[in-house]
Structure 1
Amino acid sequence: MTINVVLADDQELVRSGFALILNTQPDISVSAEAGDGVQAVEAVRNLRPDVALLDIHMPTMNGIEAAKVICAETSTKVVILTTFDQDEYVYEALHAGASGFLLKDVRRDDLVHAVRVVNAGESLLAPAVTRRLIDDIVRRNTRPPVRNKNMETLSGRERETLALLGRGLSNPEIASEMVVSEHTVKSHVSAVLTKLGLRDRIQAVIFAYESGIIQPGS
């Protein structure tokens, strides 16, 4: 089954180079290229690709703003590309709904691997890594906790699962903490994501912090 990709970067040479790498793979096809965020959003709306690779710094609409629209309107997985690796960029990208973050000097094999991993529903950042990142960001953030009325629909076990997700624990680790099977954990995780409207485990980590369920340094 072919993984369809939309690639957006305002530098034609970079865009063409990435497209060339991806198109050599038997299971990946670049469906469209875009030079700015607006074009990227339109391409995703029209083509509904599996993955969108978006540069952060683009004219008209930057990659993070484009990611917000794409993640809100479609099921396309987003990977953010940039020459910068500051924590704030990573956090903004993940908060926008992106499933991953790659530097533009990424190796050929890592680029291909990233597309496959994200398409499979995984994140390019381990939840534990994300937790450390967000912990640091939230320490510097004075905004009030985010409220989600759907929190009230979570069962006690689901709230516990969300808290453990926020700590960056894997399913086996959560199962050990809760003394249940991994199958049960998967059901709880799925319910949490569905009820709260979260795209993946990374979004659950972010929500756990922003809602105050997890406190920085806890």
Structure 2
Amino acid sequence: MKINVIIADDNSFIREGMKIILHTYEEFTVSATLENGLEAAEYCKNNPVDIALLDVRMPVMNGVEAAKRIAEETDTKPMILTTFDDDEYILEAIKNGAKGYLLKNTEPERIRDAIKSVFNGHSILQDTVLDKIKDSLFRPAEAAHQIDESQFTERELSIMSLIAKGFSNREISKQLFISEGTTANYISSILGKTGLEHRTQIAIYYITGKVDNGR
């Protein structure tokens, strides 16, 4: 079964170029190319679509607004594919239901792999995108209240906040004065409690308060 994709971008060159790229992979079929977010949201409401690739800045309705509508009103998984890596766009897109945030200069093979991963129920943030939000305004006290703190230890909450800021296991260990092995054990515990599969999903969960169950 092929993954059914739509592409929404106000630049026709980008739309058609991405369509050609995706059609070089046997896993995909591109059922529509659209000029704005409203067209994408309406198309997803009226047609079966697996993945909606959305630019951020589009007329009529931008990609962040379209991602929210698509996530709330359809079974389609929205992904942002854009040239803009502003913190505001990234955070709003994630909070509004985007399952992935990629930059257009990403290699085609990585875009392919990201689409397949989102289709299979995961959330994807490029390392460069995650780095952009690690110094965001989401301080621990502001972010943690969005999640169910009762199921986590104080140490686990501290580690989640540092993961959300883009810290590596080594950096977390130095910050908290614990071994890397202990850090890894805490992360395994967090993954087990949330049902998540990797640290990027922990970061998204900590920021949004939502467990991505692959809807």
TM-score (norm 2): 0.70
CA shift in 2, pair 1:4/1:163, >3 Å? farther
Q: What secondary structure sits across from 2:136 in the alignment?
A: helix
Please list every run of 5 or more consecutive structure 1 residues that lacks an aligned counterpart in the other structure. 192-199, 209-218
Aligned to 2:148: 151
Instruction: Summarize deviations over 1:152-192 as a string: whole Å, max 9, x none.
Output: 8x5456x876664443289x9766127xxx5x65441139x
Per the TM alignment, residue 102 of structure 1 is displaced from its structure 2 partner at its CA by: 2.1
Residues 82 and 104 in structure 1, CA contact (< 8 A), matched pair in contact too: yes
CA distance in structure 2 between the partners assigned to 1:38 and 1:146 by the alignment = 33
CA distance in structure 1 between the partners assigned to 2:160 and 2:73 by the alignment = 25
CA shift in 2, pair 1:64/1:186, >3 Å? same
**1:70 maps to 2:79:** no
Residues 8 and 54 in structure 2, CA contact (< 8 A), matched pair in contact too: yes
CA distance in structure 1 between the partners assigned to 2:183 and 2:48 by the alignment = 34
CA shift in 2, pair 1:176/1:4, >3 Å? same
How many residues were matched structurally? 189
Per the TM alignment, residue 78 of structure 1 is displaced from its structure 2 partner at its CA by: 2.0
Residues 5 and 29 in structure 1, CA contact (< 8 A), matched pair in contact too: yes
Residues 7 and 15 in structure 2, CA contact (< 8 A), matched pair in contact too: yes
CA shift in 2, pair 1:72/1:161, >3 Å? farther
Residues 97 and 203 in structure 1, CA contact (< 8 A), matched pair in contact too: no
Residues 94 and 202 in structure 1, CA contact (< 8 A), matched pair in contact too: no
Instruction: Summarize deviations over 1:48-102 as a string: whole Å, max 9, x none.
Output: 4221100111111011110111122234222212222233322222222212222
TM-score (norm 1): 0.69
Please list every run of 5 or more consecutive structure 2 residues that lacks an aligned counterpart in the other structure. 170-180, 210-215
CA shift in 2, pair 1:165/1:74, >3 Å? farther
Q: What secondary structure sits across from 2:54 in the alignment?
A: strand
In structure 1, give the amino acid aligned to 2:193. Answer: H
In structure 2, give the amino acid aligned to 1:151. Answer: D
Per the TM alignment, residue 16 of structure 1 is displaced from its structure 2 partner at its CA by: 1.1
Percent sequence identity over matched residues? 36
